[in-house]
Structure 1
Amino acid sequence: MEIIIKQVDPADTQVLKLIGKPDAYQISLYGIEKCNLESPKSLNKNDAYMLGAFSGDQLVGIGGVKIIDSYSEIKRIDQQ
């Protein structure tokens, strides 16, 4: 199976489906008030990059990186 990695739009329906999984998990562990979840709109800004792993046309994994001054944060990693 060949996997292709490419940049994706955080507002894409396939991406949103995968973003929902780690969000729900974090909320179940810590509660919404202690989670620092960013909206897909925020992740779509120039300082964040969302990558998707594709098997054919099917999105099978995601990962994001947000660049903040002199450091970066890993955002929304999940697989299908």
Structure 2
Amino acid sequence: MPPKSIYTLLAEHEASLNIAFAQRFLEYQKDRVNRAHREYEEAMAAQRDAENYLDELCAKNPNVRPPQHTAAEIVKGHQEQ
């Protein structure tokens, strides 16, 4: 088998670098997606907590005019618009 030319060696090296970069970039993107998913879950939990807290305050304080809708219904209405 004849020895590989310098151009073939350079092309193989470039290909291996491109593969390594693509693998690192894929891991980076996976991390970004996982982080965004965690942040979304945390935000949804905070929203639920706030809705529950508002509903509790309205239920405990008879001097406060209760909302026509629960906090969850209000949020859902805003999301649909």
Q: Rg larger in 1 or in 2?
A: 2
The structure with the greater share of residues assigned to strand is 1
TM-score when normalising by structure 2:
0.29
